[in-house]
Structure 1
Amino acid sequence: MTLTQNQKERYLRHIMLEDVDEKGQIKLLNSSVLIIGAGGLGSPNAMYLAAAGIGKIGILDFDIVEISNLQRQIIHTTEEIGFPKTRSAKITMNAINPDIKIETYFEKFTSANALKIINDYDFIIDATDNFAGKFLINDACVLANKPYSHAGVLKYRGQTMTVLPHQSACFACAFDTPPPVELNPIFRAGLFGVLPGLIGCIQAAEAIKYLLGIGDLLTNKLLSVDTKTMDFRKIDVSKNPQCRICGENGIKELRDYPQ
């Protein structure tokens, strides 16, 4: 594969980087990323990965655009209220870059469809907003040996880590099991609008770095961000040999978590 003149112009600032150049950009165009969630975290991921020229991007969500989403979910617009979020996201991504292929999945991510969907992608982005989804994504990626980026946001704080299954700590190594459903605070709390944009951009950067094979990934580390104080802190996370998911006697099949 060689870049067209139009592609050379579009991706010029990538090509100018000595550890990317044309070979790296071609690698991105031949790569694929699945984004699970088209909300606050999914928006910057989808837009920057599209702009970067990831050749195939999947976006999964089973929700529709509501006016209350627009304070942070920047991939959607007022005119698209009532649209499936996957449809709205695809419109914006195609407007940014018609050069790429976008697959949409207007469905819930479950133990029944998880492996079939993620099997077609090189890297997975967890852009969900609930613990059940986050633990299921981790389980599926470990079982299918798919690298992925976890992230979570609440009020003014966010966190993210990158998981290379069977090489680095997984999400369950850091957080063994989900909290009781009644303690899930996500839908009962406010959210600083720019926070998921910041964390989502970090996830997109991790995906691109992984696909290019450059830099240091957030493996075995949980990056914690407080936007009130602008404190960024890396917390070491050790791979647990007895982890119920990625350990010696780890997962053999998927199951759905209560939500």
Structure 2
Amino acid sequence: MEGAWRGGGLDKEEVERYARQLVLPSFGVANQRKLKESSVLVVGAGGLGSPVCLYLAAAGVGRIGVVDHDHVEKSNLHRQVLHAEDQVGTHKAVSASISMHRLNSTTTVETHVDGFRPKAALKLVEGYDVVVDASDNPATRYCVNDACVIANRPLVSGAAIGTDGQLSVYNHGEGGPCYRCVWPDPPASGSCQRCSDHGVLGVLPGIIGTLQALETIKVITGIGECTSGKLLMFDGLCTGFRTLKLRGRQASCAACGPEATITRDTIAAYDYEAKCGGPMHDRGEGACLKVLGKDRRVSCSRLSERMEEAVGRGGDRDFVLMDVRPRPEFDFAHLPGSVSLPMEDLEEAASGGEGAGLGAYVDNGKDVLVVCRRGNDSQVAVRRLEEAGVANAFDVEGGLQSWSQTVDPTFPLY
């Protein structure tokens, strides 16, 4: 008789779509229904968030929230497979929603375009069953963790940089530690690497993000054994995994301990960016350092004028243009006539005091104009040159990103 069949709470479309999961003896219809009835918040729609969002939508998670603050840039595309060339300039959360709906129109996708902020963190987290941290900075990681602890939500956390990655599930299971139990103190300012500054092989966040999606499915359904209380580490160069046992919940933890200081009443006012020494996203107020006064900085337009003036003098420059980016960045794009002196080499050259070792780069009769990618390292470099006795060093404000935006649009942004 037509229509006389039962699907364990799934309709014909769902049975056909998820058949390859449903036939697994360890999975079955009951767990598929759990996915359908569940909700997941993904913090970050970048390299890690891309496979998380795609695989959770494909697996049949009923409702997925995507939190991000940034827009798609060309430099994202080698690793952030949620997005495509025609989505450059689109808000990442919106772009993610488009891609997820294209893959599975039955999944409800909610976009949160203001990023993850302390004032809204708890309300965001409480609206979902599981939270996935796919962010790339300590301030956001600590904020996400604290909100999860207060709201009693499991946290699936991943990280990828260079050719390495790691993964764990926090605040889940009996005695399962939270992120702060394992990492009670944020890293020193400037010591935590980000993909935008230090690079990442495109496939690496794909590997870790896919594992985050797997762990999320295991947390929701209860199948298998998730990585609560363990840290999974991946070395991409040798294709090797190793698992470390983590210590359990700590009574001294500021988030989950019996005398926690980060609570429902205090989280909104907690200054994560100050505590962690960096912004919660690239567009944050702390994204640009303010180490120097205006008298020690020159604009990109003024640098351009001085370069043109030198051409009028037959190429004789009255300044040295010092590029303090890492050598690989200098090699693929630099301004004409600039001298490469990466930060670590500058520090070594300046360590002798009074400019010792800097003679090959500094002419005392000329200004030293220091440039980097975004105008942060160059300020630190100017301060170090001053300490080494170079009195006429100046920062090029905004760095090469500003140069591309205000002087020469052919210079690549990355």
| Fold match (TM-score > 0.5) | yes
Displacement of 1:256: 3.3
Q: Supply the distance in 2 between the matched residues of 1:51 and 1:219 (Cα, whole angstroms).
A: 24
2:232 matched residue in structure 1: 223
Q: State how far apart, in whole Å, the 2-side matches of 1:210 and 1:190 are.
A: 31
**Following the alignment from structure 1 to structure 2, what is the Cα–Cα distance between the partners of residues 90 and 188?**
27
1:213 equivalent in structure 2: 222
Q: Secondary structure at the match of 2:258?
A: coil
Q: Quick one: which amino acid aligns to residue 207 of structure 2?
A: L
* 1:249 is the counterpart of 2:259: yes
Aligned to 2:169: 162
Aligned residue runs from structure 1 range 91-130, under 5 A: 91-130=98-137
Cα distance in 1 for partners of 2:165, 2:117 equals: 24
1:15 lines up with 2:25 in the alignment: no
The offset of 1:108, in angstroms, is 1.9
Within 5 A, what are the aligned runs for 1:1-259? Answer: 2-165=9-172, 167-186=175-194, 187-239=196-248, 240-250=250-260, 251-252=262-263, 253-254=266-267, 255-258=270-273, 259=278
- Give yes or no for contact 1:159–1:223 (8 Å, CA) kept in 2: yes
Query: For structure 1, which segment, 240-249 or 156-165, has the greater mean C-alpha deviation from structure 2 after superposition?
Result: 240-249
Deviation, 1:215, is 0.6
Distance 2:16 2:204 in 1: 31
Are 1:32 and 1:56, in contact at CA under 8 Å, matched by a contact in 2?
yes
SS at match of 2:146: helix
SS of 2:94's equivalent in the other structure is: helix
**C-alpha distance in structure 2 between counterparts of 1:82 and 1:211, whole Å:** 34
Which residue identity does 2:192 align to in structure 1? N
Whichever residue aligns with residue 151 of structure 1, its letter is G
Q: Which runs of 4+ in 1 moved over 3 A?
A: none
Residue identity over aligned pairs, in percent, reads 39
Tell me, which stretches of 5 or more residues in structure 1 are unaligned?
none
Give the whole-Å Cα distance in 2 for the aligned partners of 1:172 and 1:129: 16
What secondary structure is seen at the aligned counterpart in 1 of 2:141?
helix
Q: Any idea what the Cα deviations from partners look like across 1:67-119, whole Å, max 9, x if unmatched? A: 00001000100000000001111111001100110000001211100011111
Contact 1:158–1:226 at 8 Å: present in 2 too? yes
2:165 is paired with a residue of what secondary structure?
A: strand
Q: Which runs of 5+ in 2 are unaligned?
A: 1-7, 279-414
Q: Which has the higher contact order (CA 8 A, sep 6+)?
A: 1
> Given residue 241 of structure 2, which amino acid in structure 1 is its aligned partner?
F
Provide the C-alpha distance between the structure 1 equivalents of 2:107 and 2:25, rounded to a whole number of angstroms. 24
C-alpha distance in 2 between matches for 1:65 and 1:132: 21
Other structure's SS at 1:181 match: coil
SS of the residue 1:180 aligns to: coil
Structure 1 residues 222-231 or 177-186, which shifts more? 177-186
Determine if contact 1:110/1:256 at 8 Å carries over to the other structure.
Answer: no
Tell me the amino acid that sits aligned with residue 183 of structure 2. Answer: F
The alpha carbon displacement at 1:18 in A equals 1.6
What CA RMSD, in Å, does the superposition of the two structures yield over aligned residues?
Answer: 1.3
Q: What TM-score does the superposition give when structure 2 sets the normalisation length? A: 0.61
* Structure of higher CA gyration radius: 2
Q: Is the 8 A contact 1:136 1:256 kept in 2?
A: no
SS of match in other structure, 1:71? coil
Q: CA deviation at 1:37?
A: 0.1
Q: Report the alpha carbon displacement of residue 26 of structure 1 after superposing the two structures with TM.
A: 1.2
Distance 2:121 2:231 in 1: 24
Most deviating of 133-142 and 166-175: 166-175
